[in-house]
Amino acid sequence: MAELKVSVVAADQEVWSGAASMVVARTTEGEIGILPGHEPMLAILAKGEVRLTVVGGGSVSANAEDGFLSVSQDVVTIVARNASLVGS
């Protein structure tokens, strides 16, 4: 099964990294879902939650604001001035 390599990074630390089967994030253009094989893109994040479906089951959510999301060759990088895992 194809997977995404995902990194969620705040200005001062890496918040989460790992393999995911899907990423959902809010951008200034609206909510976007990213699956393996997604075309390359760069988007500006809107304040909101980033939801990750982790390979092998489970999910991770993070709040992120003031940043961007990039996708290239099944690598998703979310860089935000402020980012933190939900519930931590």
What's the CATH number where 47 sits? 2.60.15.10
What is the number of structural domains in the chain? Answer: 1
Tokens of 67: 């940043």
**Most distant CA pair in the chain: distance in Å?**
33
* Full domain range(s) for residue 15: 4-85
Cα(68)–Cα(78) distance, rounded to whole angstroms? 6
pLDDT higher than threshold 80 for residue 88 = no
Bridge partners for 22 per DSSP: 53
3-state secondary structure of 57: coil
pLDDT digits (tens, 9 = 90+) for 24-83: 999 999 999 999 999 999 999 999 999 999 998 899 999 998 999 999 999 999 999 999
How far apart are the C-alpha atoms of 12 and 69, rounded to whole Å?
Answer: 17
